[in-house]
Structure formats: C-alpha cells, structure tokens
Amino acid sequence: MTKPVSRSRSFASDNNAGVHPEVIEAIRKANEGHVIAYGDDPYTARAIRVFEERLGRNIKVFFVFGGTGANVLGLKAVTKSHEAVICAATAHINVDECGAPEKFTGCKLLSVETPDGKLRVEHIKPLLHGIGFEHHVQPRVISISQVTEMGTVYTVRELKELATFAHKNNLLLHMDGARIANAAVSLNTSLKEITADAGVDVLSFGGAKNGMMYGEAVVFFNPKMANDFKYIRKQGMHLPSKMRFIAAQFETLLSGDLWRLSATHANRMAQMLASELRKIKQIEITQPVEANGVFAIVPKKYVPQLQKKYFFYIWNEEISEVRFMTSFDTTEEDIEEFVALVRKTVK
Ligand SMILES: Cc1ncc(COP(=O)(O)O)c(C=O)c1O
C-alpha cells in the first residue's frame, strides 16, 4: 500500500525521517572529483579511524548498505550452517528480515519470548542442550538488539552478564545496534562502554536511524573473526562501489557530537510524547520509555482516525499495542499537535 507523501512528520519510524542537514552537507562535500571505488579511498580510511577512536584500535570495520545486510553478514562471518543463533522473539533478525538470516547463514534461529525485548541468561540456559550431539543444531551466537525492538535498553551490567555467560559457554555476543546511539545516550555512556568494553564480539552499527541517508557498519571486536569478511560482504552483495558516501556520513556523525546530539534529542522527544500520552486515560504505555520509542495500547476504535493524519505501526494486533518513534527532527510542536489529535479523538 502506498502511503501518502506529506511534508509533516509522523511517529511511524525513525527511518521515515529525512537526512540530517550536516550529513547532506558531508555527502555534497564528498562529491568532488574521482576517488578509487570500493573503499580504497581517503574518506573510508578517515571514517574507519573515527570508528577506532570511538570503539578501540583493535577492531575491523566494514561499511554496508543497510541494517539487514549488516546483521546477516555479521552473523554469517561467525557461524556455520549447523549452528544456531539465539535471539528474542521480537528481534529484527527474527521477524523483520524476511528469513534472510536463515537463508544466508543457514543457521536456525532459536527465538525466546521476553516481555520487554531483552534476552537474559535464564532465557538462554534452557537452549544449551544437545551440545556435541549431531542431531541438534549447536548454539553459537547470542544476538541482542540495543535498543531492543520494544524500546528498552540493556544496562552495561546486563550486557556484561550476557557476554560473560556467552564466552563461558563457547558462544559469541552479536549486537544489532541499529539504534546504538540512542542506547548510549540513554545510559549516559560512551559507545565503547556498551560494545567493546561490555564484551560484544560482532556489532551492526546503525547510521540511518541516527540521521544518515543510508549505510551501516559491521564491526568485529576480534579482528580474526573478520578474516573472510571482505569476501562475505561481496558475495552478500553489500560491497558499495561508491563507499566514500557512506564513509563521509559516518565521519560526520561520529567525529564530533552529531550522533549524540541527534539521539539525545530523539530520546527527549520520546519522553515528552510518553508523558503527554500518560495524561490520557484511554492510552496505556506498555513498555519503559528508555530511548526513542513509545509503545502504547490505543483502543482499536481510535486507531483509524489517528492514522488518517499520522501513520504508525500496530505492534500487537491482539491488544492493539502500537509503536510511536521519534527522531532527530521531531519537534515539540509535532508532539503537541499529535497529542491534541489523540485527545480530540478519544473524547
Ligand atoms: C532493530 C533493527 N535492526 C535492524 C534494522 C535495519 O533494517 P534495514 O535493513 O531496513 O536497514 C532495523 C530497521 O528498522 C531495526 O529496527
């Protein structure tokens, strides 16, 4: 179904937002002359240095077009097809990637129901059976999303617990960091504290939801794991020929404070939206608001009226739970107007 193009902003997705003007400017500036294609260019070298400054020197960084590709190829690099990836039932890799992780890695996904999108050690323990038994897939990776698909954020302690448990059990920790900037500002930490320092092995580092036009990075915290990745990326159709344009965007985002300012703003807007919605008794907020997503039960009868003006996604049809997302360009006026419409609709 084609959704109408409108100049106004909705709360459907942080991917519905445009591109941050500073990122557009970076793309424009990178659009000069010729450089060697496929990443052998000064923009890519500089962007990789910026990643190293943020996440540590002993890493390998690869740029790819999108988040699904980053997840699938990052997982592919560290698994064999008889192995399994443990994830939350709500994980993007489980529900929003059209089976691509299974198709391209050959691995079974072992998904676990969790109330808040977070995996915990007690969810994983029951899956660690049949180790060495050829009739069972062999768990190899724990994949978590930071921020989770339910808008919650793993604390540093929770991350370390998972990583320690993983490594004790010959598992790796993969992080889908499509919203890693929002997580870091939510926890008031650096990007390194919630990745390298917490024990993450492979990371999909998100750019699009933080104001980029497109582009994500796969980061390996153990360089040996990246040995074959250049081939995996090419075979996986994610080797961008004009790599400089992804690199220039990341450099702009990460060399200064742009990533942090944009995510801080988006998170603050989500807090504002949640606190306004909490005042409306017909609306029930269902998850802690820890980053830039607000999950709420909006009684079914009100949904069509609201969606006429503000498209948003229904997350759980059964209970009419919906998702509202804020982004770097959400304004206080956007929220006031939307909340006024909600008030009018439920009256
Ligand atoms: C948690 C999460 N992971 C990954 C992605 C990346 O998906 P895409 O392939 O659309 O860039 C998204 C995008 O919505 C997401 O929400």
The protein residue with its alpha carbon nearest to ligand 1, atom 8, reads 67
The protein residue with its alpha carbon nearest to ligand 1, atom 4, reads 67
Query: In this predicted structure, what is the pLDDT of residue 4?
Result: 54
**pTM, entire model:** 0.97
Helix or strand or coil: residue 106? Answer: coil
| Nearest 10 degrees: Cα torsion 328, 329, 331, 335 | -80
Judge whether 143 and 93 are in contact, CB under 8 Å.
Answer: yes
Span 38-89, pLDDT tens digits: 999 999 999 999 999 999 999 999 999 999 999 999 999 999 999 999 999 9
What spacing in Å lies between the alpha carbon of 92 and ligand 1's midpoint?
Answer: 6
Span 93-123, pLDDT tens digits: 999 999 999 999 999 999 999 999 999 999 9
Span 129-168, pLDDT tens digits: 999 999 999 999 999 999 999 999 999 999 999 999 999 9
| Other beta carbons less than 10 A from residue 334's beta carbon | 20
Atom of ligand 1 nearest to the CA of 71: 4
